[in-house]
Amino acid sequence: MRIRQGGPSDFDAVLALGDEAVAWMNARGNTTQWGTAPWTGNEKREQMVHRLTHGAGMRVMQSDGGEVVGVIVATETCADYAPQADERELYVNLLLTSRRQSGRGIGAALIEQAKEMAGERGIDLIRVDCWAGEDGNLVRVYEKYGFRQIQTFSVGEWPGMLLGMRLSKL
């Protein structure tokens, strides 16, 4: 597997990862995190993916056979619903991995890529937000990557958690 810079040509692959994630979550009974509709054909999701694939900060992990198995988008712009940091940061705007490739360390490798991106820019803080429902299962995944909880938040009925990671020791 290898990680490369992503771009507009990855639009369909990112949508497919989103579709796969929604189907996997729904099969587990989770219809709240991202709803029940596939990303493909969902105007709001397609606009988001278009914006992300045409912006900066996208890295894509490909299998040896060329299949896109993961994507991360990390920029210096945090989500509009998250509180601003009081310093420069790298914000993980999207992290998706293929559920068919679960357990292969794809998410961890993409987070390591974000750490490298931050280090190259002289940025010490990486933040991410995630869905905090389902007893915080996803929050614990980010904690395994080295993030620490900062604060809870809500977007309507959607429960979220803001997490952060320092690259240096204070």
What are the pLDDT digits (tens) for 33-60?
A: 777 899 899 999 999 999 999 998 999 9
More confident residue, 27 or 7: 7
Half-sphere exposure of 57 (CA within 13 A, CB side): 23
142: exposed, middle or buried (C-beta count within 10 Å: 0-12, 13-18, 19+)? buried
> Which helix (H) or strand (E) is 120 found in, with range?
helix 106-121
The per-residue pLDDT for range 86-105, each reduced to its tens digit, is: 999 999 999 999 988 888 89
What pLDDT is attached to residue 170?
46
| CA pair distance 43, 48, nearest whole angstrom | 9
Helices 43-53, 11-27: axis angle to 10 degrees equals: 130
Mean pLDDT, range 159-168, rounded to an integer? 92
Mean pLDDT, range 9-34, rounded to an integer? 89
Mean pLDDT, range 18-46, rounded to an integer? 87
| CA pair distance 87, 79, nearest whole angstrom | 15
- The domains found in the chain, sorted by start residue, are 2-166 (3.40.630.30)
Mean pLDDT, the chain, whole residue set: 91
Total-model pTM: 0.90
CA angle centred on 25, ends 166 and 29, rounded to 5° = 125
The tokens for 114 are: 């974000």
